[in-house]
Amino acid sequence: MSAAPVVVKPDPAGCHRTNPAPPSPVARLDQHTRELLVGALIAVGVVAVCVLWWRDTSVASVHGVGPWLSAAGRVSGLVGSYLVVIEVLLMGRLAWLDRLIGMDRLAHWHRRNGEYCVSLLVGHAVLIVWGYAVTEHTNVVSEAKSVVFSYTDVMAATVGLGLLVGVGVISARGIRRRVSYHTWYFIHLYTYLAVALSFAHQFATEPILPRTRSIGPCGSRFTSSPGPCSSPTGWASRSATHCATGSGWLAWSARVQASRRSM
């Protein structure tokens, strides 16, 4: 009695199987080198922001304690705003960035960068008010009231800064352990509202300082006919605003797609 013939069925998936694409040159690098590369790109952005501010600032206009404090406040504000954009991108669940760095390392970067940007933005507010108070020979409290309630869009920026500080406090390790994930995540979403509120005051269309002061709202000298910030620093501020808006949209879209995939 002969054995039944064995019928081998062809693999339909194998008919369309293709060779995987070769990895990119960056993907061939080790983890440490890839992190150094991304960190260097972020550092180049910080240097570019500082260079744009310096090119638009007259050296003669920065003399005395008050103007130096105000200048330091502007630089910290611009760099802090740039780091906010980086903060949104780091945890935006962008696929290419996840593959390049890895989610665990991105979460670590996100936490450390959040500390830097919140500290810089708080320093921005303190240094600006302090510098204006020294320049006007007034006390810091009255100058703070004038800045918050009289200058264009600064009230909204103050609320945004308060939201960022609140998110940073909730994210601290000691407090984070005592808060449920859903509560922490819901409060974390206020970061997008804080970004929207905080950026508007950077490109206000009217001067926020009296003409007796030597530095304008964008870090430049006042002209006889004030108008929108057309200087490189003003351009950088508006560009950062558009980048933050686009980054927020990308991050939100990526989060929605990730939640759909997990369902």
Encode pLDDT of 52-73 as tens digits: 888 887 777 778 888 899 999 9
CA–chain centroid gap for 79, Å, is 9
CA distance 248 to 59: 36
Domain 31-262: state its class: mainly alpha
Give the tens place of pLDDT for each residue, 223-246: 333 333 444 444 444 445 445 555
pLDDT of res. 162: 92
Segments in the chain below pLDDT 50:
205-239, 241-242, 249, 253, 256-257, 260-261, 263
| pLDDT reported for residue 9 | 55
Distance CA(93)–CA(255), nearest Å, equals 6
Tell me what pLDDT residue 118 has.
93
Residue ranges per structural domain of the chain: 31-262
